[in-house]
């Protein structure tokens, strides 16, 4: 397995590299699977990397960029993650291996964040498996919650990890059957 690390995206120095990464890779399980350069620049302008409550990092494997992770709502107690890996980085276990690195970074850098959340489509089996392998817990299954171009919406599946669980080395179960 490669040595995985995160490197903060520095603006404006890394703007062109960020735009190139997003616009030259396909992300089949995202709402916009083929972002254009204009889409990527609009994300930068909107502050996805360095706006209020946002933080972006390169995902590095042995020092080479293999992905990007953006985080939002970092001023709240529950932050959101968006992880995108290059096509040639997928299927190598990088997703499940980098999630703990991301968790350590977020919980270390942002002390007010007590929970990190991520969502994926129901058919993104690899990402769902990565979340579980990294200790994240499925918290929601939003039926027909993910729009699909030219088809019926798919379910959006939400996973999360708690700071308290990471610190204690335990997993707090989700009370699925708690209705009287």
Residue range 55-77, pLDDT digits in tens? 999 999 999 999 999 999 999 99
Q: Express each pLDDT in 36-46 by its tens digit.
A: 999 999 999 99
Q: How far apart are CA 145 and CA 14, in angstroms?
A: 33
pLDDT of residue 23: 97
DSSP assignment letter at 152: P
CATH number of the domain at 4-168, please? Answer: 3.40.630.30
Pairing of strands 78-85, 115-121: parallel
- The tokens for 23 are 């616009």
Domains of the chain by residue range: 4-168
CA of residue 176 relative to chain centroid, distance: 25
Helices (H) and strands (E) in the chain, counts: 5, 7
Q: Please give the mean pLDDT across all residues of the chain.
A: 95
The CA–CA distances, whole Å, from 164 to 20, 64, 140 equal: 37, 32, 20
Q: How far apart are CA 15 and CA 21, in angstroms?
A: 10
pLDDT of residue 85: 97
User: What's this model's pTM, rounded to 2 decimal places?
Assistant: 0.93
Q: Which residues pair with 82 in a beta bridge?
A: 70
Q: Express each pLDDT in 87-140 by its tens digit.
A: 999 999 999 999 999 999 999 999 999 999 999 999 999 999 999 999 999 999
Q: Which residues pair with 30 in a beta bridge?
A: none
Half-sphere exposure of 105 (CA within 13 A, CB side): 21
Given pLDDT bands bounded at 50, 70 and 90, which one contains residue 1? low
């Amino acid at each position: 397995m490669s040595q995985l690390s995160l490197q903060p995206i520095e603006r404006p120095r890394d703007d062109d590299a960020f735009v190139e990464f997003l616009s030259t890779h396909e992300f089949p399980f995202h709402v916009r699977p083929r972002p254009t350069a204009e889409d990527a620049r609009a994300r930068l302008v909107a502050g996805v990397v360095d706006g209020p409550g946002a933080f972006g990092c390169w995902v590095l494997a042995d020092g080479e960029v293999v992905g990007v992770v953006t985080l939002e709502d970092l001023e709240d107690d529950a932050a959101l993650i968006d992880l995108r890996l290059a096509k040639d980085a997928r299927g190598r276990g990088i997703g499940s291996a980098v999630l703990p690195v991301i968790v350590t970074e977020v919980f270390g850098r942002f002390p007010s964040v007590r929970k990190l959340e991520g969502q994926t489509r129901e058919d993104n089996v690899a990402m769902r498996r990565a979340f579980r392998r990294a200790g994240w817990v499925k918290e929601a299954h939003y039926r027909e919650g993910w729009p699909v171009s030219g088809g019926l919406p798919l379910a959006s599946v939400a996973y999360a990890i708690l700071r308290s669980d990471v610190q204690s080395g335990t997993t707090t179960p989700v009370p699925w059957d708690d209705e009287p």
